[in-house]
Chain A
């Protein structure tokens, strides 16, 4: 059996809003003994004892509503955040696409931005330069390559950002809610590219709250709820459960609304 490409063991991430000492120092001077208690009270557990493994070449979805901890998980896998407890292991080179066009600067040209972004994503300079033509062709902005980024529309910028990320030739690609960019045709192109990467054996971790995208793109998925894994399994099944619960909630909420409204009407 091959080793998993991404492995999480009992990963927990806690945030202490007070650790940004700006609040802390003033408190420290006023009531030094309270600082420790304050830190404990302000603790926020974003990810709570999460374990799962993603096989090499697998496309894995992370589903969940806003604030469930999906992005925190992805940031830990990407090496941007350190887990408070537990272990994260990633085998191979990772390309974290948590946001499109990180470090883009309006006064630099498309090429300069592509080089900067590509190197920030972990490529050598010459590696980016070798891929420039492919990148600009994929983004469909080849005739603007030497123009400053401020002449690009926001859709063009997003396309360029996505194009760079998928051309970094990673072993593991992390994608966080970034596919909602560009027009329908470009989105289709993104999915094609992701399919091509999958076919090429790239492991993909995919964060979304869009049920359809997950069941379309992913092999397996995990439903993250309140920082914990609620369910893990084949993407379609997990997506459906998640969808059913969301629908159920919406229905019961509208039912409550309806009752309240009729009661208010009766009172009046």
Chain B
């Protein structure tokens, strides 16, 4: 038995890229339609959160962390990217059922557009981090940043895409996953060293950082921002990204073909 699939686009890869960009543009346009500050609003949430945390930890709990604003934001910005992508990303196939049921475009583009939307947000946060680094006078090596920032960005982008693709595929068949992910993200926020430095994790619990796909990336961003160095955790993050990408590939190949039947 052979199944020949009709060719939907004349040139597959360039078309997939166009599709991704068109979906991304739409996503960004719709997110901030009618607001005068536009993408600047993506800064509002983490900065307000950082202010609250600043009061809670520095003044009430009297926790001593140097360069607190930089410390907390260098963890919160990448964390926000994770939660923004993984939460809504889970439901991306279900929410676009009307498209999936009617047209045979590559489904992956829907996941990609969600992740790239949040990627753009994260980029808009980076100048804040750079400004804080210069303001606080923490060690800053432009060469390390020029290599480190694109590297960690690339790893996080691929990692988030892999996670979103896997979750979205499974969620189309098992809608409970979306709710589960919401709860898990809440738990992960406290397991991941966002509010506290990695050094505060007791030695017998550091294994959690190795299995938590969100932790090594956050540790890497923080090392770049606070110490101006490329952390060896980038290697762990890269390895995790490889594993989750393979997983995503397996799930996508097995489940994506029948999405039109289940969403």
Chain A contacts to B: CB under 8 angstroms: 15, 19-22, 25, 75, 77-83, 85-90, 92-94, 96, 98-99, 102-103, 105, 107-108, 112, 115-116, 119-125, 172
Shortest distance from the beta carbon of B170 to any chain A beta carbon, whole Å: 9
Complex CA distance for A21 and B222, rounded to whole angstroms: 41
Q: Give the residues in chain A near B174, CB-CB below 8 Å.
A: 21-22, 25
Closest Cβ neighbor of B104 among chain A residues: A79
Asked whether, in the complex, the Cβ of A77 is within 8 Å of the Cβ of B6, the reply is yes
Q: Within B10-40, which residues are at the interface with A (CB < 8 Å)? A: 10-11, 14-15, 18-19, 21-23, 26, 29-30, 33
Determine whether the beta carbon of A93 is less than 8 Å from that of B175: no
How far apart are the CA atoms of A3 and B10 in the complex, in Å? 19
Given contact pairs A79-B104, A108-B26, A120-B99, enumerate 8 new A-B contacts (beta carbons under 8 Å).
A19-B173, A21-B174, A82-B3, A83-B3, A90-B7, A102-B102, A119-B18, A123-B9
Question: How many residue-residue contacts, CB under 8 A, span A and B?
Answer: 111
18 residue pairs from A and B, CB less than 8 Å apart: A19-B261, A20-B173, A79-B104, A80-B101, A80-B103, A87-B3, A88-B4, A93-B9, A102-B102, A102-B103, A103-B99, A105-B26, A107-B30, A108-B30, A119-B15, A120-B105, A123-B9, A125-B21
* Cross-chain contact B260 with A22 (CB below 8 angstroms): no
Are B104 and A93 in touch, CB under 8 angstroms?
no
By Cβ-Cβ distance, the 4 closest A-B pairs, closest first, are: A90-B6, A79-B104, A122-B9, A89-B4
Please tell me if the beta carbons of B15 and A122 are within 8 angstroms of each other in the complex: yes
Residues of B within 8 A of A99 (CB): 98, 102
Query: Which of A22, A87, A120, A123 contacts B1, CB < 8 Å?
Result: A87
- Whether A88 contacts B3 by the Cβ 8 Å rule is yes
A249 to chain B, nearest CB (A): 31
Contacts of A116 in B (CB 8 A): 22-23, 26
